[in-house]
Structure 1
């Protein structure tokens, strides 16, 4: 299996609250890979496809979000999630 890791700075003004969490989990669910999210490179990790678990992280503005994914589309999943967070959770162009 393909395993990948990535990290990105949370720049959203209010951090990982409801709307960004919904966008993140919706995007994560579009991929087959197992995707985890953490606020430290060593965890603890939560399922990035679970809105309740993602919101429970309460990631504040200027924190680093770490992702790890395992599966055939792991790299594509992390690339998309990093782009979403780095783009301040804005919809496409």
Structure 2
């Protein structure tokens, strides 16, 4: 997967974008969507998400928008951020998606085996 790369823009604007594939078994159902939006809200920048090449950008901090997008396994998500800590936000959100929303850790051990 591509690492976050700065968007072309004004030098004074902090912008970043990355693409990541959703590998979680059922995609962004309720728990992963909550985890994604909760993390997104911790950053002061604007965060948007587009799926499978769509030109429509959704508010990445809106649980209604993220669940409503019906993002399934195998979907390619583009995550972009603009503003303070944009690079950090994109890296953190991309990492969360790559780690399957940390659901293995919530189920038990970090390796996914039950405790």
Deviant stretches of 4+, over 6 Å: none
Aligned-pair Cα RMSD in Å: 1.4
**Which deviates further from its counterpart, 35-44 or 82-91?**
35-44
Unpaired stretches in structure 2, ≥5 consecutive residues: 1-12, 111-115
Unpaired stretches in structure 1, ≥5 consecutive residues: none
- Of the two structures, which has the highest relative contact order with CA contacts closer than 8 Å and spacing of 6 or more? 1
Structure 1: distance between partners of 2:55 and 2:95:
21
Structure 2: distance between partners of 1:28 and 1:43:
20
Q: TM-score, normalised by structure 1?
A: 0.93
Q: TM-score, normalised by structure 2?
A: 0.76
Structure 1 residue 40: Cα displacement: 3.6
1:47-82 Cα shifts (integer Å, max 9, x gaps): 000000010110110111111110020000000000
Aligned pair count reads 93
The equivalent of 1:48 in structure 2 is 60
The equivalent of 2:113 in structure 1 is none
